[in-house]
């Protein structure tokens, strides 16, 4: 099957991204363990039913209110912005299972401003519409473009979720079976009906949309081209794993079983999730004929009666966030009626490690979670819970996060500027004011390193919190300390300036022409034996650095130049530097270092 160019590009990028984290977690402290609780983010909303973050935006959440408004939470201070992002209450018929039910931001929202909603209009018809934002906080209802409408024979089972797949970039839409009870019109197994289906459309490839070339039923005249999967009853909430791109569908049951359906990212679509022939993995209407598609059972189900029961599944999200690494890959879901929250992991296509998280989550909030209508992720992949009663909650770790340490350096002297005396200098560097970034109970380790500067310095205690550094050459030095608490680390740097005892010069450059050559040896001999005036920088002529200007200085230069002998003493014949000896000679002036 030949894929369109867009799909090929998206799939290539997707395969590359599978080796990367779904979220940028640099600098975010992590907490050990899987124990979680919850905290209130905001309250006072009107029947919130969906939580979304715009691509690339870590500072906001967008909350869908069923009556027809999209509100914004400012995550910098967990406050509800008073002005709505979008208000289409005049177009929305709200109540029961109708209303503004879902929101999906275009993957390129930051550039094109497009987002899509699912709402029930005044006539009871489901509408998929595109709007355009003028900023991150404002969108006009006048920008509406209708993408798709689906007539609803009853007021319930409208579903509501829509989402762009991170794998292929197409828009997925979930529609219920049309309502009433027991799918009286047998719409879920009818391929000519969009009700009771998962749809997949290309909102960038047509007006108002195109059909992806690899949709599974495009060559089947008895099934609509838009259909991706068949046989769902009311897929109120579905979501993609941000990292693996697997699809989780929370399908609300009839009167006996609730189910979660799982579609791996490798799927080519075309699954038939079997409603109404089966409810969950159990027979419901054995006389109903299957429609098209591969019959696929639920990956997880629970009863309407007995221990651990419920009555209305709220599909959730897969955790791929930053703060709780031990929860990576966990799927959160809930029951609207009985108010519990559970998690599970899917391994090799099997649901495992089912954990009831309700008690822990309730421990952190006033009262208890109730009427859980939706889950969502922020721009860092952290999990949020919407209560239909009006509150948004954040899932947080019980164990405090392990913040990285804070490295700090103090010096003696302060500032660390000191001269060479008797050929050396000592500065004291101290990192004991560093802390572990948390409660101060973690043991810290230290490592000192020179980053830049002249040679021949010595770090006395490179792995202690404080150290003395001994210098033998003037110059500017930079040192770095790395402070680690075993889980994270931080660095700090300090610049130390060592000043010489006099102006810098080149040892052996007796005539101060910036080069040590034959003329310097001749100049020394001329001063000694021909009465030529002595140099302004006697230290430069003292090539042996023995404190005397004599014949041995000229001989050392000649040996160095022509016989491979020892070079003039520090600072040497090439680089300028201070005198490192204690003698009666001085260097009143040497202008060849500038």
If you write DSSP's letter for every residue of 295-349 in order, what string do you get?
E---SEEEESSSTT--S-EEEEEE---SS-GGGTTPEEEEETTT--EEEEEEETT
Nearest one of 478, 481, 480, 500 to 418, comparing CA atoms? 500
Q: The dihedral of CA 363, 367, 373, 378: what is its sign?
A: negative
The pLDDT value recorded for residue 571 is 85
Token pair, residue 323, equals: 């703060």
**How confident is the model at residue 456, as a pLDDT?**
85
3-state secondary structure 518-539: HHHHHHHHHHHHCCCCCCCEHH
Burial class (CB in 10 A: 0-12, 13-18, 19+), 567: middle
CA nearest to 279, candidates 346, 226, 219, 232: 232
pLDDT at 1: 36
Residues paired with residue 335 on neighbouring β-strands, in sequence order: 313
Domains of the chain: 5-18+35-320+330-397 (2.120.10.30), 410-499 (2.60.40.10), 504-594 (1.10.1330)
How would you write the pLDDT of the chain (594 residues) with one tens digit per residue?
334 544 444 444 444 444 467 899 988 888 989 999 999 999 999 999 999 999 999 999 999 999 999 999 999 999 999 999 999 999 999 999 999 999 999 999 999 999 999 999 999 999 999 999 999 999 999 999 999 999 999 999 999 999 999 999 999 999 999 999 999 999 999 999 999 999 999 999 999 999 999 999 999 999 999 999 999 999 999 999 999 999 999 999 999 999 999 999 999 999 999 999 999 999 999 999 999 999 999 999 999 999 999 999 999 999 999 999 999 999 999 999 999 999 999 999 999 999 999 999 999 999 999 999 999 999 999 999 999 999 999 999 998 787 889 999 999 999 999 988 777 899 999 999 999 988 787 899 999 999 999 988 999 999 999 999 999 988 899 999 999 988 789 999 999 999 875 567 899 999 999 999 999 999 999 999 999 998 889 999 999 999 999 999 999 999 999 999 999 998 889 988 777 666 788 887 888 876
What pLDDT does 392 receive? 98
- Residue 293 to residue 315: CA distance in whole angstroms: 23
Separation between Cα atoms, residue 325 and residue 315, nearest integer Å:
22
Closest to 242 (Cα-Cα) out of 323, 161, 317: 317
Rg (CA), the chain: 37
Virtual CA dihedral for 157, 163, 167, 169, nearest 10 degrees?
120
Q: How many CA atoms lie within 13 A of 341 on its CB side?
A: 30
**Full-model pTM:** 0.74
489-495 long-range Cβ contacts below 8 angstroms, 24+ apart: 489/404, 489/405, 490/404, 490/405, 490/406, 490/407, 490/434, 490/437, 491/407, 492/407, 492/408, 492/409, 492/431, 492/434, 493/409, 493/451, 494/409, 494/411, 494/416, 494/429, 495/416
HSE, side-chain direction, 13 A CA sphere, residue 558: 10
Q: What is the pLDDT of residue 585?
A: 85
CA-wise closest residue to 124 among 152, 159, 160: 152
Check the CA dihedral 516-518-521-526 and report its sign: negative
For residue 409, how far is the Cα from the chain centroid? 30
473: number of Cβ within 10 Å: 22
In the three-class reduction of DSSP (H, G, I as helix; E, B as strand; rest coil), residue 250 is classed as strand
Q: Taking a C-beta distance cutoff of 8 angstroms, is the pair 273, 260 a contact?
A: no
Q: What Cα–Cα distance (Å) separates residue 363 from each residue in 87, 333, 463?
A: 35, 18, 44
């Amino acid at each position: 099957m030949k894929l369109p160019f867009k799909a090929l590009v998206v799939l290539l990028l997707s395969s590359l991204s599978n080796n990367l984290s779904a979220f940028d977690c640099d600098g975010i402290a992590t907490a050990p363990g899987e124990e979680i609780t919850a905290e209130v983010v905001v309250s006072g909303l009107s029947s919130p039913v969906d939580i979304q973050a715009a691509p690339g935006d870590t500072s906001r959440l967008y909350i869908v209110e069923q009556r027809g408004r999209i509100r914004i939470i400012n995550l910098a201070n967990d406050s509800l912005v008073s002005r709505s992002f979008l208000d289409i209450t005049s177009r929305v018929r709200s109540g029961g299972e109708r209303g503004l039910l879902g929101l999906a931001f275009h993957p390129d929202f930051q550039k094109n401003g497009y987002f899509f909603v699912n709402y029930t209009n005044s006539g009871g018809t489901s509408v998929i519409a595109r709007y355009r934002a003028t900023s991150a906080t404002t969108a006009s209802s006048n920008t509406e473009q209708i993408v798709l409408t689906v007539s609803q024979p009853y007021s319930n089972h409208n579903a509501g979720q829509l989402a762009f797949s991170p794998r292929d970039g197409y828009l997925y839409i979930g529609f219920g079976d049309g309502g009433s009870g027991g799918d009286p019109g047998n719409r879920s197994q009818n391929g000519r009906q969009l009700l009771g289906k998962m749809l997949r459309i290309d909102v960038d490839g047509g007006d108002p949309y195109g059909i992806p070339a690899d949709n599974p039923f495009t060559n089947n005249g008895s099934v609509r081209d838009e259909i991706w999967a068949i046989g769902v009853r009311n897929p109120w909430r579905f979501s993609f794993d941000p990292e693996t791109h697997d699809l989780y569908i929370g399908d609300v049951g009839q009167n006996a079983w609730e189910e979660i359906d799982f579609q791996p990212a490798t799927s080519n679509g075309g699954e038939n999730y079997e409603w109404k022939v089966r409810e969950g993995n159990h027979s419901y209407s054995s006389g109903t004929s299957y429609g098209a598609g591969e019959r696929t059972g639920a990956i997880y189900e629970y009863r309407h009666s007995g221990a651990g029961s419920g009555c209305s599944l709220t599909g959730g999200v897969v955790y791929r966030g930053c703060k709780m690494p031990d929860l990576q890959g966990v799927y959160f879901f809930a029951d609207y009626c009985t108010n519990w929250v559970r998690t599970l992991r899917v391994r090799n296509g099997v649901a495992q490690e089912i954990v009831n998280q309700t008690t822990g989550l309730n421990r952190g909030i006033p009262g208890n979670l109730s009427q859980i209508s939706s889950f969502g992720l922020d721009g860092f992949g952290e999990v949020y819970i919407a209560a239909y009663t009006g509150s948004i909650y954040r899932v947080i770790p019980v164990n405090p996060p392990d913040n990285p340490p804070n490295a700090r350096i103090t010096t003696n002297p302060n500032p660390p500027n000191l001269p060479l005396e008797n050929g050396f200098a000592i500065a004291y560097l101290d990192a004991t004011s560093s802390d572990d970034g948390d409660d101060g109970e973690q043991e810290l380790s230290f490592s000192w390193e020179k980053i830049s500067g002249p040679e021949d310095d010595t770090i006395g205690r490179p792995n202690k919190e404080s150290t003395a550094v001994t210098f033998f050459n003037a110059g500017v030095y930079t040192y770095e300390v790395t402070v680690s608490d075993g889980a994270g680390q931080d660095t700090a740097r300090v610049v130390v300036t060592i000043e010489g005892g006099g102006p810098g010069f080149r040892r052996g450059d007796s005539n101060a022409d910036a080069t040590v050559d034959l003329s310097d040896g001749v100049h020394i001999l001329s001063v000694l034996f021909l009465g030529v005036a002595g140099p302004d920088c006697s230290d430069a002529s003292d090539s042996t650095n023995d404190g005397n200007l004599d014949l041995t200085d000229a001989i050392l230069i000649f040996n160095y130049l022509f016989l491979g002998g020892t070079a003039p003493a520090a600072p040497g014949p090439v680089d300028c530097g201070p005198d490192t000896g204690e003698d009666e000679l001085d260097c009143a002036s040497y202008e060849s270092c500038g």
